[in-house]
Chains A and B, each alone.
Chain A
Amino acid sequence: EVVLTQSPDFQSVTPREKVTITCRASQSIGNSLHWYQQKRDQSPKLIIKYASQSFSGVPSRFSGSGSGTDFTLTINSLEPEDAATYYCHQSGSLPGLTFGGGTKVEIK
């Protein structure tokens, strides 16, 4: 099973600041890495697919990069509505698909 390790676990950020979240895979998964945003009491929403492709309707301040084992989600100029927990997810290793542990982003 591919283990995904996210860092940091928690980040407190002021509006308009830049946020960087990393996700490290225990083995190479190519670009089969996706990012989701989950706001409090809501279901997760896809924001970045295949490491760097933005999902339809997602604001351009969200971007992703990386391949192999190291991936990054960047939020440029954080907005108050971006307060959420962010998860990475790998789909490159069946049968065991996995999620990272999550990064909670709080607005100061």
Chain B
Amino acid sequence: QVQLVESGGGVVQPGRSLRLSCAASGFTFSSYGMHWVRQAPGKGLEWVALISYDGSDKYYADSVRGRFTISRDNSKNTLFLQMNGLRGEDTAVYYCAKEEIAYDLSGALDYWAQGTLVTVSS
């Protein structure tokens, strides 16, 4: 069955960096686009970034463009989110999520990880 397991969250000071990982199993990872979506405490969902199945296309929300970088290692079935210049408003639970349709760039998200909490605080 599809499994997405995140790691890398934690407490970090403003201005510092953090890298999130999302290990995938149960499907052909290299065939699916992947997303990061975040949720600030007590708030709604906010889309963060998208990467195509082969890593050739990447898109970002305005709020993170230039600070965050999405990437993937298809040989290790792993998705990453490199977060630099972190701010208080980046405090949130971060989810990785899988595109439903293979080779699709933007569609429904059919499986989500359990989420990892990132807290930006001095």
Contact = CB atoms under 8 A, between A and B. Distances in A.
Given A43-B95, A46-B100, A95-B60, A89 B106 contact: no
A102 B45 contact: yes
B41 to A, nearest CB: 12
| Chain B interface helix/strand/loop/mixed | strand
Interface residues of B, number: 24
Contact of B112 (A1, A45, A49, A98): A45
Interface range on chain A (Cβ under 8 Å from partner):
20 to 34
A49 B115 contact: no
Interface of B: 35, 37, 44-47, 50, 59-62, 95, 97, 100, 105-110, 112-115
Contact of B106 (A50, A97, A102): A97
A32 B67 CA distance: 28
B1 to A, nearest CB: 12
Contact of A43 (B47, B107, B115): B115
Q: Select the residue from B47, B108, B112 with max chain A CB neighbours within 10 A.
A: B108
| Chain A interface helix/strand/loop/mixed | loop
A44 to B, nearest CB: 6
A93 B114 CA distance: 26
Contacts of B112: 43-45
Contacts of A36: 45, 109
